[in-house]
A and B are shown apart, each in its own frame.
Chain A
Amino acid sequence: MSTVAIISSFADDTQCANAIEQLRAAQVGDFNTFSPIPSHRIERAIGRSKSPVRWIVLAGGILGVLAGLAITIGTTYEWRLNAGGKPLLSWPPFIVICFELMVLLGGIFGFLGVMMLSGVPTTEMEPGYDGRFGEDRFGIVVRCDEAEAARIELVLKESGAEEVVREGA
């Protein structure tokens, strides 16, 4: 049994989201969507849990604070130097450093996190990707085996797909 890819495109995210709901209702799991904009409707329709990238950022932030404490306190005790009579552990300045490092690492982690999770950089495109999906079309690509295909195409058409193409995979 050979599997095929059904590529369907929609005019806006409402239809797209609606179509997704239909698919899920029809027990179709293995599909992928393309959209020119991030759409909450689609996200809700797919209903995945929140992105774990927040934890990565949090980790980065905490690491940053720890790093800040480490260098400030560490270097201070390496050379216990008196500068202007200020105490060795001069908290106000240290807080500034910690804060900056928190933001720095948090940001870097976040960026790397999102890259990693969303699989960029990459060279090969998902099957069924089409330039229009970057421009103004919302696309759903379903991978299923030939037998299923017809049924799914129907579902998509009914939920307002502008066009539905089938590609052998």
Chain B
Amino acid sequence: MREGLPISRRSFIKLAATAGAAAALPGCEPAARKLIPYVVPDENVVPGVPSFFATTCSECPAGCGAVARIREGRVIKLEGNPADPIGQGALCARGQAALQGLYNPDRLAHPQVRGDDGALRTVSWDEAEKMLGDRLAAASKAGKDRVAFFGSPQGPTFRKIALAFLGVYGSSRATFYEAINQEPARVAAKTLFGRRDLPIYRIDQAEALISFGADFLETWQSPVELARQYSLFRTPQKRRGALTIGRSTYVGPRLSMTASKCDDWIATAPGAQADVAWSVLNVLVKQRWISPNSGFDLAALSNAVANFDPAATSARTGVPVETITRLGETFGKADGALAIAGTDDSSAHLAAMILNAVTGNFGKTIMFLAGSPAEETSTPDEVDAAVDAMRGGEIDAAFIAGANPVFTMPVSARMAEALQKVPFVVWAGGVPDETAAMASLILPAHHPLEAWRDTAPRAGIRGLGQPVMQPVFDSKPVGDILLAAAGRSSSAKPPWATTAAAVKAEWLALASKADGAGPEDFWVNVRREGGLFEEQHLSALKLDTSPFKAPVPAAAQMELSVYAYPHIFLYDGRGADKPWLQELPEPVAQIVWDSWAEMHPETARKLGVAQDDVIEIKTEHGAIEAPVLVASTVRPGVIAVPLGQGHRAYGRYAKDVGTNAWLILAAGATCAGATARATGKTRRLVSPLGKSDMMGRSIVEAMSIEQLARGVIPKNEAEEVTGPFEMYTPWKYPGHKWGMTIDVNACTGCSACVTACYAENNIPWVGKEGVDNGRIMSWIRIERYFPEAKAAAQAPLLYLAPMLCQQCGHAPCEPVCPVFASYHTDEGLNGQIYNRCVGTRYCENNCPYKVRRFNWFVPEWPAPLNLQLNPDVTVRGAGVMEKCTFCVQRIQFGELNAKTEDRELRDGEIVTACQQACPTRAITFGDSNDPASAMMRRREDHELRNYRALEELNTQPAITYLRNLYREKGKA
């Protein structure tokens, strides 16, 4: 009964695929004409076949490598670069969303000049550059250092270009500004080791981990890399004979996503972490749990931490004494421990580093690298100096690129005022932001993906960013603008004409290091690899144990304080113009398209406010208004507000969404004492989430590591059916039977998979109202459940797991479809034929997992966002149902490749978008007919942890989950 099928199935798929291309092409025609003149066919561009370019991600300082997927000249997806040692092939949600920055419809299309009336006037590039040249010339004539460059660090080469540019105009006022700059850590490093660069961490080498407020799975330093390490750290393994997982503790005011993946969350007031850290050190010193050759003078150490006797600390911070001593014990006794800090005071960082040092973990779980240090951002003092100079009227012309200081700088810095003092402000960038609004000349700059650039995230790693496509708009690389401007000047010209030339020159200079290969081979090679990744060597540390400033205990905590943290997706605010990120629910709060003031029910009661009440939060620096989110995910007495929202410009998707928490912070601070009052207004916080209580259903399951060690499978007390119960004779899947294994323990909830799915499968966003109306379209979502109150003692802090179509063998959605739009392929896929769907929506009614999505309206991608659409995937119209397809287009691609190359399909050859993106490799896709496949082996290796969602319904899902692991409380 199989003969007929393959043909029919294939024709179905083809139908879908071709229709997909057809639907996508009209959208991209104008661009296509511009990008690829098919009149003269380009032999490098084979229609229908993607090409891949290695490049680097520039969405945050972590500097992961990326690979751009190009179709017909358009980059349609960003993925991690496997060759890159940092990301190792994974890319976070923010990185992937860079595409929406590239294709953002609100990007500046032409140079514009602001008239005296403040209105912008479009001008040609020539006019603009002439104007720029003239004003700069004038400025430089006026004297030395009258020209300033103020921008984000955009790589070593760019740095040189910027400096050269300034040089030409007789200035040295270059400021490389990052809003989130890890300054406290650098200060700590400086104090202890006399160096300002950041250490490298190896969580996977540790047995115990304490994070003093460092959200290392979200935004802290290098999330993708650290998440990968953390998942290894949490993988059950034999340690000293016992099966166990790394013990992690989070000390901080909010149960962040990172905290939720730890064993314990010690809720302290913001700023109290240092106190606890020192106290832990105190315990270590007292107990002599310190390595003999740590190089520390015990006496000095113990009197330094004298004020931090656990009892005292406990009194100050409210953290129980035994908690602190236990922390000390686990940390001291651990074979490999790591303490990290993410607070805004260097004290905690210092304490953490000493903790690592005294336990002899330097070189093991934490290390400094030899060789050229990472490029540095300007120190806060340098930044202040620059701003003061502007305010002081010492600057005639300021060139701002890549940074949005007006938005991210605290009110106290008075940046806006400073810019007003500058007669001529040039802004170059993509989507005009708050800073651009203050500039008199704004220039459309290339998106990083359109320009040549390089990165140096750490010693031994140079990322090479090559343009992956033709410019979408009439823009230029910032570097080129600077060089052109420099070129106009009469005085000494910079050595390169363009950024491209500069980058190539710089890199060929590196070639000498690269043994053997000649320069051109080297050039080809680094472009293919996406950079130069050399062996990383530890640098010898000269520990400065000279009695350091004995820390003073933090003042008694304030009545009410506000804690502002970088939003996992919006970061410092640069993500806010990307609908994908706006519509991605923050993993813990599950809110979209808004900011919120998260507070404990107790706090809410004290303040007399309820969910969705808009409150005004006032600090000494400023005041903001935000709706209340009542949740026990923050410490009582603390209001947590995410950064990144509240733009007053920056395009249609960012403008007037939420509130800007930077406004209530001091420079470099993340918290402040605050007062809050109800404003009487209310604003619905919008979330796609219904109930947060799993009601004991087997959706996201967890078991304790102790149970795993004992080999006990958690039993659900439902009555068992005895005797045969199978109604139908099972179907046969002669060829492949696709399946998936998802390790819930490895899943951090970072939602990279969700964004990957949006990008791969042309999933439209629906906006705040849409989400509120229950029309969110995500095919894969992160389920968030709170443990039931009674079970909380013996459960993970939070249940987080991806939920997507389970591709059921007995899919309830299939037989109810009247027109076979939903049916089962003979490769075990739960097929959904959009063209055939009439929209009865019965399938979704009958889907126990509720993973199907209906197109309530005609989806829209404002040009040029439509250029990002994946031609391999149908764009669905109004009135049809859609859902996860296991990336059937990728499966087809893989199978066709294998066929054309006349070979068997290799395991792991087909990688779904979600799997590809996952930093912790929680998702494995493969053939369940092949017991040797990685996917099946993973199930076998963790047999005790296998479970299927809602298994009692006999839907026979193709997805097997591996239970989350937690550590039973009250166990050492």
Binding site for B on A (CB under 8 A): 79-88, 90
Contact = CB atoms under 8 A, between A and B. Distances in A.
B170 to A, nearest CB: 76
Nearest to B830: A84
A83 B814 CA distance: 5
Interface of B: 1-2, 4-5, 8, 728-731, 808-817, 820, 822-826, 956
Contacts of A84: 808, 810-816, 824
Contacts of A88: 1
The B interface is mostly helix, strand or loop, or mixed, namely loop
A88 B814 CA distance: 13
Given A80-B1, A80-B4, A85 B731 contact: yes
A83 B833 CA distance: 13
B826 A82 contact: yes
A87 B824 CA distance: 12
18 contacts: A79-B4, A80-B1, A80-B4, A80-B5, A81-B8, A82-B823, A82-B824, A83-B820, A83-B822, A83-B823, A84-B813, A84-B815, A85-B730, A85-B731, A85-B809, A85-B810, A85-B956, A87-B728
A83 B815 CA distance: 5
A-B interface, 8 closest residue pairs, ranked by CB to CB distance from nearest: A84-B814, A84-B815, A82-B824, A85-B810, A83-B814, A83-B815, A81-B823, A84-B811
A86 B8 contact: no
A86 B816 CA distance: 11
A81 B823 CA distance: 7
Contacts of B822: 83
Contacts of A87: 728-729
Contact of B8 (A79, A83, A85): A79
Contacts of B5: 80
B111 to A, nearest CB: 58
A92 to B, nearest CB: 10
Nearest to A90: B815
Nearest to A87: B728
A47 B731 CA distance: 62
Contacts of A79: 4, 8, 820
Q: Which of A83, A85, A86, A90 has the most CB of B within 10 A?
A: A85
Given A82-B731, A87-B728, A90-B815, 9 more contacts: A80-B1, A80-B5, A82-B814, A83-B811, A83-B817, A83-B823, A84-B824, A85-B728, A85-B809
Nearest to B9: A81
A91 to B, nearest CB: 12
Contact of B820 (A81, A85, A86, A90): A81
A86 B820 CA distance: 13
A87 to B, nearest CB: 5
B942 to A, nearest CB: 27
A83 B731 CA distance: 10
Nearest to B726: A85
Contacts of A85: 728, 730-731, 809-811, 824, 956
A40 B816 CA distance: 50
A19 B121 CA distance: 108
Contacts of B730: 85
A87 B816 CA distance: 14
A79 B4 CA distance: 8
A129 to B, nearest CB: 51
B406 to A, nearest CB: 57
A81 B956 CA distance: 18
A84 B1 CA distance: 17
A82 B820 CA distance: 9
A142 B394 CA distance: 128
A83 B824 contact: yes
Contacts of A82: 731, 814, 823-826
A85 B824 CA distance: 8
B188 to A, nearest CB: 60
A85 B955 CA distance: 9
Contacts of A81: 8, 820, 823-824
Nearest to A88: B1
A83 B826 CA distance: 11
Contacts of B728: 85-87
Nearest to B732: A82
A88 B5 CA distance: 13
A84 B956 CA distance: 10
B1 A86 contact: no
B425 to A, nearest CB: 64
Contacts of A90: 815
B815 A86 contact: yes
Nearest to A79: B8
A62 to B, nearest CB: 27
B870 to A, nearest CB: 27
A79 to B, nearest CB: 6
A157 B661 CA distance: 110
Contacts of A83: 811, 814-815, 817, 820, 822-824
Contacts of B4: 79-80
Contacts of A86: 728, 815
Contacts of B823: 81-83
B202 to A, nearest CB: 48
B736 to A, nearest CB: 15
A81 B4 CA distance: 10
A128 B794 CA distance: 97
Nearest to B813: A84
A83 B832 CA distance: 11
A87 B1 CA distance: 12
B479 to A, nearest CB: 58
B347 to A, nearest CB: 61
Contacts of A80: 1-2, 4-5
Nearest to B731: A82
A88 B956 CA distance: 19
Nearest to B826: A82
Q: Which of B1, B730, B815, B816 has the most CB of A within 10 A?
A: B815
A87 B808 CA distance: 16
A79 B6 CA distance: 11
Nearest to B954: A85
Contacts of B731: 82, 85
A114 B8 CA distance: 47
A95 to B, nearest CB: 15
A90 B731 CA distance: 14
Nearest to B810: A85
A88 B1 CA distance: 10
A84 B807 CA distance: 10
A81 B817 CA distance: 12
Contacts of B820: 79, 81, 83
A83 B836 CA distance: 15
A90 B812 CA distance: 15
A87 B726 CA distance: 12
A109 to B, nearest CB: 28
B739 to A, nearest CB: 15
B724 to A, nearest CB: 16
A83 B824 CA distance: 6
Q: Which of A82, A87, A90 has the most CB of B within 10 A?
A: A82
Contacts of B1: 80, 88
A79 B816 CA distance: 17
Nearest to A75: B820
A85 B1 CA distance: 14
Contacts of B824: 81-85
Nearest to B817: A83
Contacts of B814: 82-84
Nearest to A82: B824
B492 to A, nearest CB: 75
A81 B825 CA distance: 8
Contacts of B2: 80
B747 to A, nearest CB: 29
Nearest to B846: A84
A87 B731 CA distance: 8
A5 to B, nearest CB: 60
A88 B812 CA distance: 16
A93 to B, nearest CB: 8
A75 to B, nearest CB: 10
A82 B9 CA distance: 11
